[in-house]
Structure 1
C-alpha cells in the first residue's frame, strides 16, 4: 500500500524531539477524528543518533536532511515500510554559486499538483507538471513587508479537503485564510464584480487572543503561566472537518474547536536542561486499514507526554 492511499486515512502530527548532541526522537501522534483522543503510534515512531532534520511531510512521506561525511544529504522516507530513498547529489562540482534569497519562514506545502512557499509576503505556487509559477499576495501583505513580518509572529501552510489554508498569528489573534480556486471565483463572480487577480483569499476563521486567555485560564495556570502571549502560539494544523485548530505553546499543544470554542490540552513536552535543543511538529497523514468503531477506543483520553520513555527503533540516514 502506498503511503497516504487509503479510504481510512489517519491524520495526526509528527514530533521531532531533538537534542544538542544531534540525536532525535521522531514520535507520531494519532488524533481521533471524532473523539479528539490522542495516542502515540509506536509502530511508526523511531529515533536517530546522527543529525537528521525533518524538512516537510506529504501524503505519508517525509523529506529528511542528514549530515554525514561533511556533506548534506536529502532522503525521502516512508515510515510505514521503513523504505529510504536518498536523493542524488547535484552534478555541479568545483563551482561556487552565490545569490541572495529570502529565508523561508514556513515549511513548503504540496497540494493539488503544486508546491507552495511563503516568501516575503507572497505565496509562490509552482505547478509541477506545467512548469509554471504564480505569485500571490498573502492576505496580510503590506508593501513594507520587513515591517509587517515583525508583527506576524508564526505562520503555517496546510491542506484540508483539497484546499490550501494559510494560518498566522499576530498581535490580535490567530487567523486562517483559504486560497480561492476557480470554482470559488466562478461562484462569486455570479453575484459580484471583482478582480480575480487581486482577491485570492477568503477568511475561514479568526480567534482573538483575549478569548484564548480569559476563557481558558485553567489551561495556563496549572503549567505556571497566567496567560498566553501573542507570540507564544504557533499554528500547526486543522482537523479534516476544518473545525479544530491545533496550536503549539511553550511546553504543550492544544486543540481549539472553532465551533464550540473549547480549548483542550492534548500533548506536553519537557525541557530537560541544557541538553534540550528543539521540539517541532508537522501535520502528517497516512493510510491504515482500521475500523472506525474501534479506532477511538484504542486511543488514550488525555494528554500524552514527550519525550517517550519506550525504546524505539534506531534508524540511520
Structure 2
C-alpha cells in the first residue's frame, strides 16, 4: 500500500481546495453532494461557502409573480432577468402545499398555506426546494416580514405583527388597531414578544413589509410610514413625500421596494407616462429623486399600454413590478404591460420585451376586461442561494 495519500484524499482533506471545486458545481449536483458526508454538508452550508459561490448576493436572477384570489387565471409565473425568455412552467413554479408567497429576502421566501381552516407559515428556499414550517403565532396575524443574509449568518428572523381592533369606527379606515410585534429566530425556533403594544390606524399596510437597512418597512396611504429595526427591536417613523393637493383618496403607490441596499418609491397620480423614482437616504433624512422616467416611447412601441384600466380608468395599463439596481448605467425597471413583460433601462432609456403573460380575462365578446395580472406587491425577487433552512 502506498504511503502517499491519493488525489481524492488530498482534495477531501483540503477545505479550501474542496470549496473551489464545489462552488463551480450546478445546483442540482450541489444538493446531491450535501448527502456525501457530514463534512461536505457542513462545508456547503457555511456563510463562507455562500460568499464564495455567489460573491454578488444581491444579484437578482428573476422574479416570481404570484396572484391569487380575486382574478381568474391566477397562479405563479417566473420571469428570468439574466437570460431573457418567456415565463416558465418549470420546477420553479412547482411549490409544495399550495403555498402563497408573502415576501422575499436574499433568496428565501416567506410563504403561507391554508389547510383545515388554519393558516400556516413557512420559509422556503426555491433553489433547493427545501422549506420549513414555523410554529403558529399566538394571535391574529396582520403581517409578516423577515430578514436573512446568508453571507453573514446561517440564521434568519421573522417579524410578525399581531393585531386586534382597539377603537371601532363607522368611518372607513378610521378604526384603530392595537398591535404587538413578535420575533421568530431560526436559531431558537421560538416566537417571543418584542416591545410594548402600539396603536395604529388601518392605513398602515402591514402585509406589505419591505426589508431594508436592517429593518422591516410598512407604508401608509395617508400619513407617515413605519419601520421596525430588527437588531435594536425598536419602531421608527419613516417620513413620506407630501401628497399632492386635491388627492382626497390619499397616497397612490405604484411601487415600494428594495434593491441592492436601496429603498425605492414611485407614486403616479393620474394617467401619465412621466414619473419620478424616489430613493430614501440611508440615515432616513428624506427622499430624493434618483431617476426621472418617461415611458412615452414604450407606449408608442406598445400602444396597448395607453388603454385605460377598466377597473380604474385614471391609470394607463402598465405596472412597475421591480426596480433592479445594477452598476448605475445598467439599472432597470421591470414593467408589466397587457400580455407582456418589458425591461426598461433607467439611464439610457432603452427597452425590450423579455416575456409574455396571458391577459387577466376576457368578456363575452373577447375584449380584455382587466389588462394586467400583476402589480408590484405580486412580484418577489429570486436570488440563487443554497442556504440551509
Q: Which residue of 2 aligns with 1:217?
A: 300
Q: Which residue of 2 aligns with 1:86?
A: 133
Q: Which residue of 2 aligns with 1:168?
A: 267
Residue segments in structure 2 that go unaligned for 5+ positions in a row: 1-43, 141-162, 167-175, 177-201, 309-314, 363-369
- CA–CA distance in structure 1, aligned partners of residues 85 and 93 of structure 2: 18
- CA–CA distance in structure 2, aligned partners of residues 136 and 226 of structure 1: 33
Pick closer, same or farther for the CA change 1:21–1:30 going to 2, 3 Å.
closer
Q: Which residue of 1 aligns with 2:322?
A: 237
2:306 paired residue among 223, 227, 238: 227
CA contact (8 A) 2:339 2:358 kept: yes
Residue segments in structure 1 that go unaligned for 5+ positions in a row: 183-196, 290-317
> Pairwise CA RMSD of aligned residues?
3.8
Matched, 1:77 2:124: yes
Displacement, 1:73? 1.4
Aligned residues: 259
- CA–CA distance in structure 1, aligned partners of residues 269 and 70 of structure 2: 30
SS in 2 for 1:217: helix
Q: Which residue of 2 aligns with 1:246?
A: 334
Pick closer, same or farther for the CA change 1:167–1:106 going to 2, 3 Å.
farther
Matched, 1:132 2:234: yes
- What TM-score does the superposition give when structure 1 sets the normalisation length? 0.67
Greater relative contact order (Cα 8 A, min sep 6): structure 1 or 2?
A: 1
- Report Cα offsets for 1:6-44 as digits up to 9, x if no partner: 215441211226488999653332212xxx734657765
Higher mean C-alpha deviation, range 265-274 or range 42-51: 42-51
Matched, 1:59 2:106: yes
Displacement, 1:263? 2.6
Pick closer, same or farther for the CA change 1:76–1:23 going to 2, 3 Å.
farther
Matched, 1:47 2:94: yes
SS in 1 for 2:249: helix
Higher mean C-alpha deviation, range 11-20 or range 230-239: 11-20
Give 1 or 2 for the bigger CA radius of gyration: 2
- CA–CA distance in structure 2, aligned partners of residues 246 and 24 of structure 1: 20
- Report Cα offsets for 1:162-187 as digits up to 9, x if no partner: 121122333243321111124xxxxx
CA contact (8 A) 2:204 2:220 kept: yes
Listed as ranges, the matches of 1:1-317 within 5 Å are 6-9=54-57, 10-11=59-60, 12-16=62-66, 18=68, 25-32=75-82, 37-38=84-85, 44-47=91-94, 51-92=98-139, 97-99=164-166, 100=176, 101-102=202-203, 104=205, 107-120=208-221, 121-141=223-243, 146-149=248-251, 152=252, 154-159=254-259, 161-171=260-270, 172=272, 173-182=274-283, 200-208=286-294, 212-214=295-297, 216-220=299-303, 225=304, 227-229=306-308, 230-241=315-326, 242=328, 243-271=331-359, 273=361, 278-279=373-374, 281-287=378-384
Pick closer, same or farther for the CA change 1:155–1:54 going to 2, 3 Å.
same
Q: Which residue of 1 aligns with 2:13?
A: none
Displacement, 1:266? 1.5
More helix, by proportion: 2
Q: Which residue of 2 aligns with 1:313?
A: none
CA contact (8 A) 1:27 1:44 kept: no
- CA–CA distance in structure 1, aligned partners of residues 91 and 316 of structure 2: 32
- CA–CA distance in structure 1, aligned partners of residues 90 and 248 of structure 2: 44
